[in-house]
Structure 1
Amino acid sequence: MKFTLVSSCVALVVMTLAVDAAPGGKKLSIPLTKNSDYQPNAKAAVSKASAKFNKKLINPLKGIPGGITTDGGSGKVPVVDYGNDIEYYGDVQIGTPPQTFKINFDTGSSDLWVASTLCSSCTSHTRYDPSKSSTYVADGRAWSISYGDGSNASGVLAKDTVTLGGLAIKGQTIELAKKESSSFASDPIDGLLGLGFNTITTVAGIKTPVDNLISQGLISSPVYGVYLGKASQGGGGEYLFGGYDTTKFTGSLTTVPVDSSQGYWGVSVSSVKVGTNTVASSFSGILDTGTTLLLFTDSMAKKVAAVYGAKDNGDGTFIINCNTSSFKPLIFTLGGATFNVPVESLIFEKQGSTCFASFGYAGLPFAILGDTFLKNNYVVFNQQVPSVQIAASINQ
């Protein structure tokens, strides 16, 4: 999980998204909508990612063979584009009758936790009330999450029905927050739903929501397609569980093997180019919807910055020329195909006449392909193989 936000007022504009998903079966889609008010902060985005992954450094990732299937069922959940592409969240219902929460979907973690009435200080959030759910089952085991930046949350486990886009997952283990730090209290989201593998749940042996969507037959294909919108194009987006949305990408999907041995969606990147200039080759990366920026290793980031004439701020961020007319896109090669981060996505934040780059570094031995990459490329995640399929998003 990663939070990259500061306190702000949230204005939500709900938009309806057309879906032409994989044929047949049950599908769950979560659309994303736009928030127009948030002011981005590149330094905060880097520090949050550093805190997220430095707490558990992993070995460089190596791809493993696999393929993706698209037969079977799915369902859709819309998500809000918060803070001009800072993070994306959708409505999730918990309990009977359902209580609705704003939940951040994060492929870089695997826990489902939510603010609850057990937390007296969580008053800025919608809080899950177990006394109002007839399907609530107490567990009592403790959980705790803490991050290198000092943010933390803790509480107890429980079980209840969790509904995603109309599909009701029965007996889903949830983590009820009894305490949370001030940084979480100022975030607009009420909780987080991890889409990583179950080997990195905070309490061992818990099935993730995707595990249960598959095992309970709510989706008949073990995949989910992710489309992240851009604020510059109206924002929004969707998570489509059990299939993928052919209207959200162009060209054909390319299969890329995934190394899930560390619980993450690890991929091997053959190269990164700026135009015809190769700036990095043969490195490992993580596909993470919960990281805002595109983060390279320290040495790789400096090489990318040099090509664009960007200035290192010494804190993981770079100042970049606001006039990008002479720039060329970043080109990633995965699975033998190329995927772009276009020129307009190279600027993340503008403060007066100063622009901050959407790429940086966080002292990690691998790259994080965060929302800067993912909002330009549609990704189908296959949990069973495991593998991903990637194609250029309609945003490009």
Structure 2
Amino acid sequence: MDSQQWSDGVTFTMQRGPFQNNGATPWYTRVQVGTPGQSLKVSMDTGTNITWITSSLCSPDRCQHFSAGRFDHQASSTFTFTDCLQRPYSFGPWGTMQVESGSDVLTLNNTPLPIQLLLAADYTGTQFRQLDWDGGMGLPSSSAYVDGKSSFVFQALMNAGKIDPHQPFVAFDWDPASRRGVCQMGAVDAAKTRGPHLFLPWSLYSKVRGVEYIWSTPLASYTVGGDVLARNITFALDSGSSQFKGDDRLMRQTLERIAQGGSPTVVLGFADGEITLGADLYNVLIEDGPDKGKTLPQFEPLGLTDLVLVGSLVMEYCYTVYEYRVVQCRAGTYSLAPVGIWLFNRPQGPQIISRSSSRRFEAKPRTLVSGKLVLRPPLATAHTAPPLCAAGTWKNDYGSAMTLTVTGNVITGSYQSSTGSTGRYAVTGYQASTSPSREKGLPVALAIDWHSLDEQQADPSWHWVSGLCGQLHRIAGEDRLNLSHVLIATGDFPDLAKQGAYLDKLSYRRVADEAIGLRPITPTLASEHDNRLNGTWMAAQGYNLKLHVRASSQHALGCVSGTLTTPTGRVEVSGFTDINANSGGLSRQSVSLAAPQKSGEAVLALAGSLDLQVDELTLLALLTSSTTASQRYVQTQVQSLMFRRTLGAGANEI
């Protein structure tokens, strides 16, 4: 067990894995989960609000990652599932995993600490494949922002009496030379809080909904090579990250400036202090993974508007202390609110704090707050309209309704039609990860499977799917969702429609949830499915699909995941397919997919069918980019794509 419990808190010893070019920190600690304890490598992650681990719920060929550890829940006598649903959890443009929630114990010095956690049941992608750790222990800025299905371990330790509530600190001390470090909870090393320092007061980042938990602070200026690229934006320090990530425009401009030569310095200017990084610090040798042996600048667009986020690239050269404010709800029960982050130059190493803050750190116990503490948004945005988001309940001109939830940029939900069959239908999709300007709309792409998830009488439309793509605009204070709709009918429905593709334009208005009574549903995935759609598909102009099908419970529908490669890059893709086409006597299997775009500024819907006789996949692609409301007639481009299975690819290739 790589932790020690002291009278002044709990210390986790940490190790540095190989630096890989995926944006995730190489630092991790070993923890014991379950009974008997299973040793897993875990990131101490101030950039997430969940505690999660890779698990044996993943099939052997899924959840591949560098560390390769998995928690076997069946081997733990203390494990229980706390829900019977599996859902997607999005890390935004970085990737998405399928998770299930459970409870078990985290053992610290032979003392079990009950925790709730999320078990990864599926994930794919090069970012995950290069992970040096098996899971993450979330250290969000406040207990108010914790995902309700997982524990905030720092708060749990405090409530269990393992951490003094008057010492509300989480301190990191990483030494890249020795590749050893510590994360100390509930104490600080006062000897390391001397010399040049920086205090970053917490301030809510509200440009993108759903990431309020990050440790963010105002950034007065962002300068590269003497050129000020941005002013008055937001900075975040994320111990689960490595490289600089954030605003697409800023990251691209930074890379362009570095490519011009001259080894420009990067300067982060705060109201009360400054960080300066030279090229020798942001150009990093990649130690493993596809880019092994290369030295690359560590800047990556992430689709988070007006945000500059970084992790170990800065923290390896500082002693870092995250400070909370503790609210005592009642005896032995505490809630945590953010104060801010303290950074101190490490004596041995680059002195990256180039201008110190006037406020000084006092290594003394903190006073508890009693009663109730109100977390408020920044004054500048307290009375502004909320950002555009597809989450909520919507009703169109036909009277059909859908309720959507959004995690990061991933959409899930339920649809209730009034134009044909009754029942509830599954919805998945994406919204653009980059927030549009005030004048422009938010691109949205959805996939719907028309196999009812209720106890209804079957009809031909249960084999059909739809793809929808368009924009959300705020017009005269009202949110309106205008979507182009492609209905794929793979079989005749007497007195309604013949086989074919049908186009429509649907306009939705936001309504109160209680007016509809429709709740989001996530299909329960039962098993891998030996389906003809599985495998790798190629089309002209550089389009490539790698698809994987899982059956829902009772084989009602097929849930599709995978990747889409376009001329602009590779992204995740998800959607639905009719896994009952063959048994239903149909020659075509309907398919509806949705995908974000690498830029974060557009989304794509793909709807069509797989010809089961000639093994060809024909999809109509709808690509929506952000436009003003007056120009929404050119918001969606349409393209027909013919995919063929790659040579030698079997039906079960992933």
Q: TM-score range by the shorter chain?
A: 0.5 to 0.7
Q: Does 1:362 align with 2:302?
A: yes
Q: Structure 1 residues 150 and 219, CA, compared in 2 at 3 Å: closer, same or farther?
A: closer
The one-letter code of the counterpart of 1:310 is: I
TM-score between the two structures when normalised by the length of structure 2? 0.42
1:186, 1:347 → 2: CA distance? 19
Deviation at 1:226, TM superposition (A): 1.7
The one-letter code of the counterpart of 1:153 is: M
Q: Structure 1 residues 205 and 96, CA, compared in 2 at 3 Å: closer, same or farther?
A: closer
1:57-113 Cα offsets, whole Å, 9 max, x none, are: xxxxxxxxxxxxxxxxxxxxxxxxxxxxx5211101112332110112221111111
Conserved? CA contact 1:32–1:229, under 8 Å:
no
2:113 aligned partner: 170
Deviation at 1:276, TM superposition (A): 7.0
Work out which of the residue numbers 288, 292, 298 in structure 1 matches 2:242.
292
The one-letter code of the counterpart of 1:257 is: P
1:59 aligned partner: none
1:150-194 Cα offsets, whole Å, 9 max, x none, are: 843324222121135x38462210122333336546644222222
Q: Does 1:222 align with 2:168?
A: yes
Deviation at 1:286, TM superposition (A): 1.6
Q: Does 1:112 align with 2:59?
A: no
1:393, 1:372 → 2: CA distance? 14
Partner SS, residue 102 of structure 1: strand
Conserved? CA contact 1:287–1:370, under 8 Å:
yes
Conserved? CA contact 1:250–1:393, under 8 Å:
no
Q: Structure 1 residues 93 and 347, CA, compared in 2 at 3 Å: closer, same or farther?
A: same
The one-letter code of the counterpart of 1:210 is: F
The one-letter code of the counterpart of 1:189 is: W
> Which 10-residue stretch deviates more, 262-271 or 179-188?
179-188
The one-letter code of the counterpart of 2:173 is: Y
Work out which of the residue numbers 74, 84, 88 in structure 2 matches 1:144.
88
1:296, 1:154 → 2: CA distance? 24
Conserved? CA contact 1:136–1:160, under 8 Å:
yes
1:167, 1:367 → 2: CA distance? 40
1:327, 1:112 → 2: CA distance? 39
Conserved? CA contact 2:245–2:309, under 8 Å:
yes
Q: Does 1:135 align with 2:66?
A: no
Deviation at 1:347, TM superposition (A): 0.9
Q: Does 1:26 align with 2:21?
A: no
The one-letter code of the counterpart of 2:312 is: D
1:362, 1:186 → 2: CA distance? 18
Conserved? CA contact 1:28–1:167, under 8 Å:
no
1:239 aligned partner: 183
2:252, 2:125 → 1: CA distance? 33
Conserved? CA contact 2:89–2:99, under 8 Å:
no
2:196, 2:174 → 1: CA distance? 18
Matches within 5 A, 1:228-377: 228-230=174-176, 233-246=177-190, 251=195, 253-260=197-204, 262-273=212-223, 278-295=228-245, 297-301=247-251, 304=254, 309-311=257-259, 321=261, 327=263, 329-334=265-270, 336-349=272-285, 355-365=295-305, 366-377=307-318
Q: Give the RMSD, CA atoms, in angstroms.
A: 3.8
1:270-307 Cα offsets, whole Å, 9 max, x none, are: 2345687655432211211222212353444466557x
The one-letter code of the counterpart of 1:258 is: W
2:285, 2:189 → 1: CA distance? 30
Q: Structure 1 residues 134 and 393, CA, compared in 2 at 3 Å: closer, same or farther?
A: same
Partner SS, residue 383 of structure 1: strand
Q: Does 1:96 align with 2:41?
A: no
Identity across aligned pairs (percent)? Answer: 19
Q: Structure 1 residues 115 and 357, CA, compared in 2 at 3 Å: closer, same or farther?
A: closer
Deviation at 1:389, TM superposition (A): 1.5
Conserved? CA contact 2:26–2:132, under 8 Å:
no
Conserved? CA contact 2:116–2:149, under 8 Å:
no
The one-letter code of the counterpart of 1:229 is: D
Conserved? CA contact 2:263–2:278, under 8 Å:
no
Deviation at 1:148, TM superposition (A): 5.0
1:97, 1:362 → 2: CA distance? 39
1:179, 1:294 → 2: CA distance? 27
Moved over 6 A (4+): 350-354
Deviation at 1:391, TM superposition (A): 1.5
Deviation at 1:336, TM superposition (A): 1.1
2:69, 2:294 → 1: CA distance? 37
TM-score between the two structures when normalised by the length of structure 1? 0.67
2:283, 2:183 → 1: CA distance? 25
Q: Structure 1 residues 134 and 356, CA, compared in 2 at 3 Å: closer, same or farther?
A: closer
Q: Structure 1 residues 87 and 141, CA, compared in 2 at 3 Å: closer, same or farther?
A: farther
Conserved? CA contact 2:51–2:150, under 8 Å:
no
Partner SS, residue 71 of structure 2: coil
The one-letter code of the counterpart of 1:158 is: G
Q: Structure 1 residues 175 and 229, CA, compared in 2 at 3 Å: closer, same or farther?
A: same
Work out which of the residue numbers 101, 122, 131 in structure 2 matches 1:157.
101
Q: Structure 1 residues 282 and 310, CA, compared in 2 at 3 Å: closer, same or farther?
A: same
2:510 aligned partner: none
Q: Structure 1 residues 160 and 330, CA, compared in 2 at 3 Å: closer, same or farther?
A: same
1:192, 1:342 → 2: CA distance? 30
Partner SS, residue 48 of structure 2: coil
2:99, 2:264 → 1: CA distance? 48
Q: Structure 1 residues 344 and 31, CA, compared in 2 at 3 Å: closer, same or farther?
A: farther
1:99-128 Cα offsets, whole Å, 9 max, x none, are: 110112221111111123333326863332
Partner SS, residue 372 of structure 1: helix
Q: Structure 1 residues 285 and 150, CA, compared in 2 at 3 Å: closer, same or farther?
A: closer
Conserved? CA contact 1:119–1:178, under 8 Å:
yes
Conserved? CA contact 1:345–1:358, under 8 Å:
no
Q: Structure 1 residues 139 and 270, CA, compared in 2 at 3 Å: closer, same or farther?
A: same
Deviation at 1:344, TM superposition (A): 1.7
1:302, 1:188 → 2: CA distance? 26
The one-letter code of the counterpart of 2:78 is: T
| Number of matched pairs | 317
1:171, 1:364 → 2: CA distance? 34
1:290, 1:352 → 2: CA distance? 21
Consecutive unaligned residues in structure 2, runs of 5 or more: 206-211, 326-336, 351-654
